[in-house]
Chain A
Amino acid sequence: MKKLLKRLTASRNFYLFLFTILIIVIFQLVQPLYLSTDNIRNILYSVSVTGVLMVGIANLLISGNMDLSAGAVGCFCTILGCKLINLGVPWVPATLLTVCMGIVCGLINAFMTYKLGIIPFIGTLGIASVWSGLGAVITKQASVTLTNEAFFKFGSNKFGIVPWAFLYVVLLCVVYGLIMKYTKFGRKVYMSGGNRIAARLAGIKIERIGTIMMCNCSALAALAGMIMASRMHLIHYQNLQDTSTMGAITAALLGGVAFGGGAGGMLGAFLGLMLLNCFKNGIDIIGCNEYVQILFNGVLLAAAMAVDFFNNLSRQKALKAKNEGKQTSNP
């Protein structure tokens, strides 16, 4: 028992969890409606869309890359997917096709990064404006409404108060967490994010891993878009733009994923996601208007980066201590 407690208090995720609980308690005290069934469902729904996006982005960050176009890619692919569904394609193949389109978008990002040599940060931003502009052009700035009843179940079915969509996120986190932690591929991803040169010298094909992770990120973004569309029964060209991308990045960073790559895990990222969404929903429900929320997006992003900074410091300190320990023990 004591051992367990010791292990718990040593892990960062434990504090993240406590912090989330603290936020929930505070909001509950301010606004008793916070923990009503409807609102819990709201929180879980909002987690589900950003969550799917976040899983892709967190893994991409771990591999040392960046994609700011994820939201725009998701929206654009979903617009095409919804058009397909409206044309009469059954929803399962339509969703699969949408995910495939996401993969193609990811390939374009990878081509820019590795063949043209553009820094992903700014290149993906350019691409993001291309996709969101195209989305607006295709839909003529109107929303695409859906009428396919079967497709709605994909996003809005629920067990009690837990929506399926939330379970998808949990499932994705578990699967990706296992892959990243226990497979050879996952370890390669960590290594190529942690130390690019060392990874290359060790024979890891960094470009290939980067390409896979970018495709993965865009594919999950497309999936997130489809979940969103099936829940709202429509998709609009302004949905899922850079605010959602930044939200997903913020969640991953809050959860301890290193901005420069090479560290962090899915459990932490999931907790970061919960923290972020509980907080956002909280300031919403205590009556702050949407402008305050835009402001808080920025504050949270800065806070998340600060968390990353201090994580980095402690990681370096630990490494230093380890090295010094080795040096003293060797002679």
Chain B
Amino acid sequence: MKKKSGFFSSKYFSLLIIIVALLVIFTVWSGGQMIKPINIRNILNNLVLLSMIGCGACFLMLYGELDISAGAIGSFAGCICALLAMNYGVPSGIASLIAILVGCVAGFLNALMINVLRFPPFIATMGMSYILQGAGYLIATSQGIQIKKLAFLNLIGDTKFFGGLVPVTILITIVFLVVYGVILSKTQFGRSIYLCGGNRRAARLCGLNPKKLSYVLYINSAFLASVSGIIYVARVKTALPTALTSFQFTGVTAAILGGVAFGGGSGNMLGCTLGMLILSIFNNGVSTVGFNANYTKVFNGVLLIVGLALDAITARRNARKVVSMSLAASQSGKKEEG
């Protein structure tokens, strides 16, 4: 028997089909609004922010934990950057660097709470997200900080290629995604994340240090979130304390849709990227067709639950497979003995 070609039977193929189907459905439904250049740019811009946060979320979920504070960290970093650049006259490049550093410190604190005080990751990052949101309001108030005439931020926010269709940020994002994908699948570090996520005790017995890894991953997630916060500020020209809070769960949802197992240990960057594409096309389509933001909220909740349910079902099926395999192995072993 000839084996079916790998790609067409894989999960990625079905995800691609979903993406194409969504595009077609929404294009027809909105009467062509969906694929106008402006709207495509909207989708890409949204994808940039989502994919930074989603990438961090994907790494953490492979490790078996999650970070709810990513959106808040990103918004806070944006506020810090705008505050330094506008009110204290720091050059915007340096202000961005400082803001990213501050974000990383927040990520470190997350890891500290989780590893030293053993808070459940969920609660620790939730608390962190409240704290940073409050702090962001104190810095920027609910009006936000407007930014003008900042060399570095304008360079990031306004440079576009191909007749103004592709913003430079999308290129940055692609580089990030490729680099992270390679790190995850080709390096020892990447494999160690899978091992820790799949079976932490086994990983420890193999001589890995899951705690150290957890610090790295939380800081990484915060780093990516801060970068996306700064990209947001650069594009929208306003630093808001709630700029990215709607991305709190979208990162997690995207990763789950793309096949990253909730408990950790399986999934990869390609799937996660496709998941993010699905989410941003879906969200954009829903609003293009004319539903308001609240419907988007409802649909996102439903998507999250569907993704989780599929994930749980796959996990159960895999567990059954492992059991039946080990049963078969033990039986054949007995036969050989006999």
Contacts and interface: CB of A to CB of B under 8 A. Distances in A.
Interface of A: 112, 116-119, 121-123, 125-130, 132-134, 136-137, 141, 246, 259, 290-299, 301-302, 305-306, 309
Nearest to A306: B117
Interface stretch (B22-30, B91-99, B309-317): B309-317
B129 interface: yes
A141 B297 CA distance: 13
B298 interface: yes
A259 B120 contact: yes
Contacts, number: 124
Contacts of B3: none
Given A123-B305, A133-B297, A136-B297, A295 B124 contact: no
B294 A298 contact: no
B127 A294 contact: no
B304 A309 contact: no
Nearest to A309: B117
Contacts of B133: 294-295, 298
Nearest to B109: A302
Contacts of A309: 117-119
Contacts of A297: 130, 134
B304 A305 contact: no
Contacts of B302: 126, 130
Contacts of B130: 246, 294-295, 297-298, 301
B231 interface: no
A117 B123 contact: no
B131 A295 contact: yes
B235 to A, nearest CB: 25
Contact of B124 (A116, A137, A292, A302): A302
A298 B138 contact: no
Contacts of B297: 129-130, 132-133, 136
A298 B309 CA distance: 30
B298 A134 contact: yes
A259 B117 CA distance: 13
Given A121-B122, A301-B130, A309-B118, 4 more contacts: A116-B312, A118-B309, A125-B249, A134-B294
Nearest to B306: A126
> What 5 A-B pairs are tightest by C-beta distance, nearest first?
A295-B134, A298-B130, A298-B131, A133-B297, A291-B137
Interface in B88-144: 113, 117-120, 122-124, 126-135, 137-138, 141
B308 A122 contact: yes
Contact of B262 (A112, A119, A295): A119
B312 to A, nearest CB: 4
B316 A125 contact: no
B315 A117 contact: yes
B301 interface: yes
Interface string B242-275: 0000000100100000000010000000000000
Given A116-B312, A294-B137, A295-B130, A129 B117 contact: no
B300 interface: yes
A13 B118 CA distance: 24
Given A298-B128, A302-B124, A129 B300 contact: yes
B295 interface: yes
A129 B295 contact: no
Contact of A293 (B129, B134, B135): B134
Most interface-central of A127, A134, A302 (chain B CB within 10 A): A302
Interface in B272-327: 292, 294-298, 300-302, 304-305, 308-309, 312-313, 315-316
Interface in B54-92: 66
A127 B126 CA distance: 17
Q: Of B128, B135, B294, B300, which is in contact with the most chain A CB atoms at under 10 Å from its CB?
A: B294
B134 A133 contact: no
Nearest to A69: B301
Nearest to B133: A294
A126 B131 contact: no
Contacts of B294: 133-134, 136-137, 141
A246 B130 CA distance: 10
Nearest to B140: A291
A130 B298 contact: yes
17 contacts: A112-B309, A117-B312, A126-B249, A126-B301, A128-B301, A129-B304, A134-B294, A137-B292, A137-B294, A259-B120, A295-B138, A299-B127, A302-B128, A305-B117, A305-B119, A306-B117, A309-B119
B301 A291 contact: no
A306 B131 CA distance: 16
A259 to B, nearest CB: 7
Contacts of B132: 298
Greatest chain A CB density within 10 A among B249, B296, B315 is at B249
A130 B141 CA distance: 29
B257 to A, nearest CB: 12
A259 B124 CA distance: 12
A297 B128 CA distance: 10
Given A292-B138, A298-B131, A301-B130, A123 B298 contact: no
Contacts of A129: 249, 297-298, 300-301, 304
Nearest to A253: B123
B8 to A, nearest CB: 29
A30 to B, nearest CB: 20
A88 B313 CA distance: 45
A210 to B, nearest CB: 16
Interface string B129-165: 1111111011001000000000000000000000000
A291 B295 contact: no
Nearest to B138: A291
Interface string B195-236: 000000000000000000000000000000000000000000
